[in-house]
């Protein structure tokens, strides 16, 4: 049974439960269903949106990686995944069956958010926090069709594994239903690495096609990579960057292979005697390894990650990324640059005015270029005697930058259990 003494609140709505770190919601699920420790099928939080105006959502703040923070509690929700990647805590923690909300429930919530945005003159973006939004392709297509039919589109972000994005119809529907950014766990460009962590369903030779398929529909990717896998050697960062830089511009993120407690990876490394910090979660240190990689040193793996972050968000790389989408509306390009600043901040935190000043100064040429173009468009728009001409497929007039609110929605959970329909 649960030992109350073992529950200790950590930062950001994370709690210690026995030897694991769990979110606020998961803790409640544990408390409801002990001793089985399975997530509750009964507990489903009511949406706060009917009571919370957009200004409140804005005030609560958001993180692209962790969804909206409501009342200080983190609301990233895990709902299970059948894939069972060795390093991932989702399958072990939530099981390999998935529960779905009804399409109507999700569509109604989107419509309500859309109505609030219209009423309050703001804009809102949604983060579908499902661990793998399209894990059941048939259901996902059905949901997206219902969103389109109900005219419930809002800009949204979701996490989808690369193998599911082979489906052209799915990608068409994602774009038509308001999808903007897709988080993809690429993990590695090395097939041996992927096989070693039970993620052989990722095919590196498909990555380029997947990202181009998205970009053709104005969808862009947050691509996630893990260094320090068993087949990684010094130079893994440059080898990975060599590929990333040929892809449509996205937001790459890099981390180290981390043996999370109770994952198969943790068990394997423990058995092999390779854990260097067996209780690393009690001494959280971002971007520090907790085990020894096979073909490189711990320090070398950490240096590779630092190099990947530095090179991916350098002023030169930012310029190249923005130049490669020069056919996009200026508002989109400015948004992309701002997103790049924030993503760089994952590794190099922007903690104060000095950090921001340095970032702006280092990117001054690009900022000046975009600002000049925006002001020029604004001026021409103001002067009604001059028409602004843009390509018909990308027609979007420059407008005052809207205040965008990010809201998290989960597609799966409660109500009904269903057979998986995994492509
Ligand atoms: S596909 Fe993603 S969520 Fe599913 S087990 Fe693998 S890493 Fe975890």
Q: For 203-226, give one letter per residue: b (16+ CB within 10 A) or e.
A: ebeebeebbebbbeeebbbbbbbb
Measured in Å, residue 161 CA sits from the centre of ligand 1 at 8
Residues in the chain, pLDDT under 70? 1-80, 95-96, 384-423
Q: Is 275 helix (H, G, I), strand (E, B) or coil?
A: strand
pLDDT the model gives residue 410: 64
Is residue 374 situated within a structural domain? no
Pairing verdict, β 67-70 and 62-63 = antiparallel
Atom of ligand 1 nearest to the CA of 87: 7
Q: Which two tokens stand for residue 29?
A: 């699920």
pLDDT the model gives residue 33: 37
Residues 334 and 413 in one domain: no
Is residue 360 situated within a structural domain? no
Measured in Å, residue 334 CA sits from the centre of ligand 1 at 32
Atom of ligand 1 nearest to the CA of 159: 2
pLDDT the model gives residue 408: 67
Residues 116 and 224 in one domain: yes
Q: Which two tokens stand for residue 378?
A: 């604004």
The domain boundary residue, chosen from 328, 350, 372:
350
The domain boundary residue, chosen from 316, 350, 384:
350
pLDDT the model gives residue 416: 37
Residues 73 and 11 in one domain: yes
pLDDT the model gives residue 31: 37
Measured in Å, residue 191 CA sits from the centre of ligand 1 at 17
Residues 249 and 129 in one domain: yes
Is residue 383 situated within a structural domain? no
Measured in Å, residue 5 CA sits from the centre of ligand 1 at 31
Is residue 384 situated within a structural domain? no
Q: How far apart are CA 328 and CA 141, in angstroms?
A: 27
Q: Do residues 221 and 157 touch, judged by C-beta distance below 8 A? A: no
Whether the CB of 131 sits within 6 Å of ligand 1:
yes
Residues 315 and 412 in one domain: no
Measured in Å, residue 81 CA sits from the centre of ligand 1 at 6
Is residue 359 situated within a structural domain? no
Q: Do residues 161 and 83 touch, judged by C-beta distance below 8 A? A: yes
Whether the CB of 185 sits within 6 Å of ligand 1:
yes
Q: Do residues 267 and 246 touch, judged by C-beta distance below 8 A? A: no
Residue nearest to atom 1 of ligand 1 (CA): 83
- CATH code of residue 41: 3.80.30.20
The domain boundary residue, chosen from 327, 350, 373:
350
Q: How far apart are CA 421 and CA 138, in angstroms?
A: 7
Whether the CB of 88 sits within 6 Å of ligand 1:
yes
Residues 30 and 130 in one domain: yes
Q: Do residues 346 and 65 touch, judged by C-beta distance below 8 A? A: yes
pLDDT the model gives residue 94: 72
Closest CA to 109 of 192, 46, 17: 46
pLDDT the model gives residue 122: 83
Domain that holds residue 240: 4-350
Whether the CB of 81 sits within 6 Å of ligand 1:
yes
Whether the CB of 161 sits within 6 Å of ligand 1:
yes
pLDDT per residue over 29-83, tens digit each? 343 333 334 444 444 555 555 555 555 554 333 332 333 322 222 223 335 678 8
Residues 49 and 125 in one domain: yes
Pairing verdict, β 123-128 and 99-100 = unpaired
Residues 205 and 257 in one domain: yes
Is residue 67 exposed (0-12), middle (13-18) or buried (19+ Cβ within 10 Å)? buried
Measured in Å, residue 148 CA sits from the centre of ligand 1 at 27
Measured in Å, residue 89 CA sits from the centre of ligand 1 at 8
Closest CA to 12 of 56, 58, 54, 67: 67
pLDDT the model gives residue 90: 84
Is residue 306 situated within a structural domain? yes
* Number of structural domains in the chain: 2
Q: How far apart are CA 317 and CA 311, in angstroms?
A: 7
Is residue 377 situated within a structural domain? no
Is residue 224 situated within a structural domain? yes
Q: How far apart are CA 228 and CA 234, in angstroms?
A: 10
Residues 267 and 413 in one domain: no
Measured in Å, residue 96 CA sits from the centre of ligand 1 at 10
In sequence order, what are the beta bridge partners of 182? 158, 221
Q: How far apart are CA 42 and CA 40, in angstroms?
A: 5
Q: Which two tokens stand for residue 245?
A: 């830089």
Residues 73 and 187 in one domain: yes
Whether the CB of 241 sits within 6 Å of ligand 1:
no
Residues 255 and 403 in one domain: no
Q: Which two tokens stand for residue 385?
A: 């005697």
From 88, 257, 423, mutation site for ligand 1 pocket: most ligand atoms within 8 A of C-beta: 88
Residues 220 and 316 in one domain: yes
pLDDT the model gives residue 57: 52
């Amino acid at each position: 049974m649960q030992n109350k003494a073992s529950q200790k609140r950590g930062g950001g709505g994370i709690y210690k439960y026995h030897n694991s770190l769990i979110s606020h919601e998961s803790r409640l699920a544990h408390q409801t269903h002990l001793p089985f420790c399975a997530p509750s099928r009964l507990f489903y939080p009511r949406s706060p949106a009917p009571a919370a105006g957009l200004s409140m959502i804005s005030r609560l703040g958001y993180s692209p990686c962790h969804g909206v923070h409501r009342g200080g509690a983190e609301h990233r929700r895990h709902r299970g995944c059948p894939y069972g990647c060795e390093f991932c805590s989702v399958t072990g923690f939530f099981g390999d069956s998935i529960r779905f909300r009804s399409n109507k429930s999700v569509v109604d919530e989107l419509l309500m958010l859309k109505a609030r945005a219209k009423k309050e003159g703001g804009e809102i973006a949604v983060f579908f926090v499902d661990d793998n939004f399209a894990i059941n392709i048939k259901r996902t297509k059905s949901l997206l069709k219902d969103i389109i039919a109900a005219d419930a589109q809002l800009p949204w972000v979701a996490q989808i594994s690369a193998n599911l994005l082979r489906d052209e119809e799915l990608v068409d529907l994602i774009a038509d239903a308001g999808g903007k950014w897709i988080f993809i766990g690429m993990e590695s460009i090395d097939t041996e690495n992927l096989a070693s962590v039970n993620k052989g369903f990722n095919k590196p030779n498909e990555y380029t096609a997947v990202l181009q398929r998205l970009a053709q529909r104005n969808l862009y990717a947050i691509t996630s990579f893990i260094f320090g896998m068993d087949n990684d050697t010094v130079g893994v960062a440059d080898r990975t960057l060599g590929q990333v830089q040929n892809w449509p511009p996205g937001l790459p993120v890099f981390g180290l292979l981390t043996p999370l407690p109770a994952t198969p990876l943790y068990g394997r490394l423990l058995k092999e005697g390779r854990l260097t910090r067996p209780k690393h979660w009690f001494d959280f240190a971002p971007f520090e390894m907790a085990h020894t990689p096979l073909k490189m040193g711990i320090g070398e793996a950490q240096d590779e990650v630092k190099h990947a972050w530095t090179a991916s968000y350098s002023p030169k790389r930012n310029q190249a990324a923005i130049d490669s989408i020069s056919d996009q509306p200026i508002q989109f390009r400015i948004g992309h640059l701002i997103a790049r600043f924030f993503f760089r901040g994952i590794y190099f935190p922007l903690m104060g005015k000095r950090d921001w000043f340095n970032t702006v100064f280092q990117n001054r040429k690009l900022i000046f270029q975009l600002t000049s173009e925006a002001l020029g468009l604004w001026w021409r728009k103001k002067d009604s005697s001059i028409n602004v001409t843009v390509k018909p497929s990308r027609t979007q007039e420059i407008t005052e930058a809207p205040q965008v609110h990010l809201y998290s929605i989960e597609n799966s959970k409660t109500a009904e259990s269903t057979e998986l329909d995994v492509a």
